Structure formats: structure tokens, C-alpha cells
Amino acid sequence: MDPKPPSPPHVLIFPCPAQGHVNSMLKLTELLLPAGLHITFLISAKDHDRLSRFTTVHSRLSSYPGFRFHVIHGLYEGPIDTDEKLSLMLIDSLPKVTTPLLRMLLLDSQVTCFIADGILGFSLDAAAGTGVPVMFFRTISACAFWAYFCIPDLINSGDLPFQGTNLDERIVNVKGMEGFLRRRDLPSFCRSGLSNTTFQEVSSITRRTPDAHALILNTFEDLEGPILSHIQKHCPNNNIYTIGPLHAHLKARSISKSTSSNSLFQEDRTCIGWLDQHAPKSVLYVSFGSIATLTRDQLIEFWHGLVNSEKPFLWVIREDLVSSLDDENKVPSELEKGTKERGYLVGWAPQEDVLTHSAVGAFLTHNGWNSTLESIVEGVPMVSWPFFADQQPNSRFVEAVWKLGLDMKDTCDRRIVEKIVKEVMEVRKEEFEESARRMAKLAKESVSSGGSSYRNLDRLIEDIKMMTAQSN
């Protein structure tokens, strides 16, 4: 009698239920499935419903019999923004609701490997004693991860908490960033006291990374090689797999010939037709991502700056982008006139397609990591205005290290917005476009056959398969 063939590797994937996390971990899923891996993807009921309504993800993944969504009920499903209390309501509900579920799945489902969002440190505790290796996937950049990792060192050196109010003071105790890192470039929660809950949780969770079997990052070696070498020194027992940019990797392997949107918002594709009417590299694309909120005053300052720059602009204004906006706070007539002449507003845009469009000449961005990578791959220079967390170090690297644009963090003044937009799109246009072209080339080479990210994904898949062989 022929021996029973070994079961295919079964991977459990668990993202933090937020747009940027779900998006990138679904892309990881799409890269792993063609290798014959079976995947169970844990997702909140709210996010599952939004994916069903706004994307083609179900039809894209239905061709893989080894894939299934496991919908989690009972999580906090209210609004999530930069308000720490709202974010903590979600974070607090996650371990309470999901730890028993994780234990059940890891013990009963013949799971080969558990790829957990690295911000969910309790996943290590849930997997303890099950014999299932845990891999951390971090949805942030390597430079932001390293800044998080170094927080205890900054406390020991006296850099944290800040003494005084000078945010331009240099931080010299983050290895690899000594020459350019300022206080204002540390993750935003570093500006709070040491008792700040987010500050404590993010620092302690990141320091648990060496306890995981591996670390997977959505980045590539030519972009963040020097920082990756520092991470490797402090995580010597981890396998580190840099396999990004994930969205470009999907296209390079012909897994997704077109954009594979995983948006939790309904995309307004009419903006593509509007872009078609404009000259190459003439339009400024503006989006602050899925979470951040503006005050009305900030909105108006940005709006004046955009109109006064005299550049055509495509602006994503989510319905929940602006706090405290009512009928009495109407938009000034000069802004309405300028927008009618040169602007186009949408509630949500098909961002990958927008950045690919020849009309887009620059991206005014919050520098969330997905947005930053999408801009890098398409060779679009950036104007950076980060809000919180990893976005602060990302924006500093955009200007000071990668030379892909200008960082105007911590300012919101119409004159500065106008000046920086013109600086990127006129005064230093050729300089930034050349840097952006060079980095885009390196990004695409990394995910092409033989490139570093391509090889690392192959290595990740083989390592997961080896786990199955060892467990059989």
C-alpha cells in the first residue's frame, strides 16, 4: 500500500484589523497560495463585510481550494483614528476575544506555521506550548521597526522622556540614524510621557520579536539594507525575510496582472478619467490614509496651500477625515472657485492606479508604509506630512536618506504647503524625479526573478514546507 502523501503546509495568518495591516497581509497571502500552501486568514466581521462589498478578493482567492477566511465576531468595531482611546478599545478586545480561538486553531487544525501581525504580541502567548512556530509580520518599515526597538535604549540614555520642548534636538542613540534623526522624527508616541499606554505597549511588543521564529518585512534590501543589518544583530536567532514591495511582487510573479485592491473603503474610479485630461507629471495627489483626522483649521490651511500652489490636485477627503465640521463652517468661496478650476475631490481613490497614472507628478502623503512603498515603486516624489506612529521616521527617511521628497511634519500653514509643493514639483523637480526613478528601478529589480525579495520569498516558502516535513 502506497504511503499517504504528506499534508500540504497549513498557515494561519492573523492581521491587526485595520486597513494597512489587512491590505498587506492579504497580499502576502496571495504570494504564498500559488506555492501550494493552505491558508486560514483570520479577519474581523467588519473587515470581512467591507472586503466583500468593495473588492474582488473573494473571486481572486476562490481558485485556491486551500484558502479560507475565518471570521472573528465580538471585536470592537467602532471608529479607529489617531485617538489613542479608540485604538486601545480595539487592541484591548483582541487578546480577550481571539486568544481562545487561536489556541483552538493551533491545537486542532494541524497548523504548520502561524504568521501573526507583529504588533499583536499576545499571539506568542497563545501559541505557547502548541509546537507551532510563530512568524511575525510587521507592516511597518524596517527603519520604523528599528526606532520602536530602540526605545528602551533611549530611556536608558536619557533621551526619553524629552527634557524641554526643542523637537529639533538630535537623537544620537539609534544606531544607523545618528546623523539625521531628530526628536520630531521619533514615533509620535515618544512625545508622551513614559506612562503612555501606546508607548509602553509598542515598545514591549517590538522587543519580543526575537522570541518569534522569524520576522517578515514588506521592504527590500536596496532601500533599507543598513538598518536591516542593525536589526539582524539584535535578532540573531530570527530568520529575517524582506519580501517587498508586496504589491509589486504580486505583479512581478504574474499572480496579479492588474491592481489587486484590498480596500476597506469604496473606491471612486471617476478620478482616473479626470487624470486622463491632464499633462504628464502635472497633478499633485493628496491622501492622508485611512485613519488620520484633520481639524477644520488644518483642512482650510491645506486647502489654501493647494489652491495657491496653482497645481492641479486630486484630493482624497474621507467622510470622516475632518473632525468638528458642520454646516456653519462652510468652505470659503475662493477655495471652492480654485477647486472647481484645478481640483478634484473623492471620498476614496484607487491609490495604486492613481500613482501609476502618468499625470501624477507628486504625492502629498501621511507616509503610512503602504502608501510610501506604492509611491516609491511608481517613482513619484513625495511631500510628507506624517500624523502618528511609524509615519514620523518614514517621512524623515524620505527626505534625509532616500532623497525622494521633502518633509514638512509638525507644520500646517498655507504658505508652507504652497512653498513645499512648488519646491518638489517645480524648483527641485528634476532632482527628485531622478532619485525617484533610481529607487523605483531598484524596487522593481528586487521583486524580479533573481532579485533579493524574490529570493527571500522563495526561501520563506521552502522554510515553511520544511516545517511540514519535520512535523510529519
- Percentage with pLDDT > 90 across the chain: 72
d(CA 64, CA 37): 9
Residue 1's pLDDT is 47
At 166, the pLDDT band (50, 70, 90 cuts) reads very high
Residue 192's pLDDT is 83
117: annotated active-site residue: yes
The HSE-up count of residue 406 (CA atoms within 13 Å, CB side) is: 18
* Cell numbers for 402: 532616500
Residue 238's pLDDT is 73
Q: Inform me whether the pLDDT recorded for 233 exceeds 80.
A: yes
Torsion-angle region of 310 (φ positive above 0: left; ψ -120 to 50: alpha; else: beta): left
The HSE-up count of residue 118 (CA atoms within 13 Å, CB side) is: 30
pLDDT tens track for 339-351: 899 999 999 999 9
Candidate from 79-93, 172-186, 227-241, 453-467 with smallest mean pLDDT: 79-93
d(CA 238, CA 213): 6
* Cell numbers for 219: 521592504
Residue 256's pLDDT is 63
Q: Inform me whether the pLDDT recorded for 87 exceeds 60.
A: no
CB-CB contact of 427 with 416 (8 Å): no
The HSE-up count of residue 465 (CA atoms within 13 Å, CB side) is: 11
**Mean pLDDT, the chain, as a whole number?**
90
Which of these, 213, 203, 207, 163, lies nearest to 183 by C-alpha position?
A: 163
CB-CB contact of 393 with 185 (8 Å): yes
Residue 439's pLDDT is 98
Average pLDDT value for residue range 98-121? 92
Phi, psi (5° rounding) for residue 89?
-60, -40
CB-CB contact of 353 with 394 (8 Å): no
Q: Inform me whether the pLDDT recorded for 393 exceeds 50.
A: yes
Average pLDDT value for residue range 416-422? 98
Q: Inform me whether the pLDDT recorded for 91 exceeds 70.
A: no
User: Tell me, what amino acid is at 350?
Assistant: P
Average pLDDT value for residue range 256-261? 61
User: Which entry of 47, 48, 117, 357 is annotated as an active-site residue?
Assistant: 117
Residue 5's pLDDT is 63
Neighbours of 54 (CB within 10 A): 16
Q: Which 3 state secondary structure label does DSSP give 68?
A: strand
pLDDT tens track for 427-444: 999 999 999 999 999 999
Phi, psi (5° rounding) for residue 442?
-65, -40
Q: Inform me whether the pLDDT recorded for 126 exceeds 60.
A: yes
d(CA 210, CA 251): 32
* Cell numbers for 228: 536591516
At 80, the pLDDT band (50, 70, 90 cuts) reads low
Torsion of CA 233, 237, 239, 244, to 10 degrees: -40
Q: Inform me whether the pLDDT recorded for 86 exceeds 50.
A: no
Q: Inform me whether the pLDDT recorded for 130 exceeds 80.
A: yes
Residue 352's pLDDT is 94
Residue 326's pLDDT is 55
Q: Could you tell me how many residues make up the chain?
A: 472
At 197, the pLDDT band (50, 70, 90 cuts) reads confident
d(CA 453, CA 459): 10
Q: What angle do CA 445, 248, 213 make, to 5 degrees?
A: 90
Which of these, 69, 76, 24, lies nearest to 46 by C-alpha position?
A: 76
d(CA 434, CA 440): 10
Average pLDDT value for residue range 174-186? 96
Overall pTM surpassing 0.85 (yes/no): yes
Q: Inform me whether the pLDDT recorded for 88 exceeds 80.
A: no
User: Which entry of 21, 213, 278, 357 is annotated as an active-site residue?
Assistant: 21
CB-CB contact of 44 with 17 (8 Å): yes
Cβ-proximal residues to 425 (8 Å cutoff; 6+ apart), any chain: 284, 309, 311, 361, 362, 381
Q: Which 3 state secondary structure label does DSSP give 367?
A: coil
Which of these, 407, 402, 361, 362, lies nearest to 386 by C-alpha position?
A: 407
The listed range with the strongest mean pLDDT (163-167, 253-257, 319-323) is 163-167
Average pLDDT value for residue range 198-203? 83
pLDDT tens track for 304-332: 999 999 999 999 999 888 876 555 567 88
Candidate from 131-145, 238-252, 254-268, 420-434 with smallest mean pLDDT: 254-268
Average pLDDT value for residue range 400-408? 98
CB-CB contact of 135 with 215 (8 Å): yes
Residue 255's pLDDT is 75
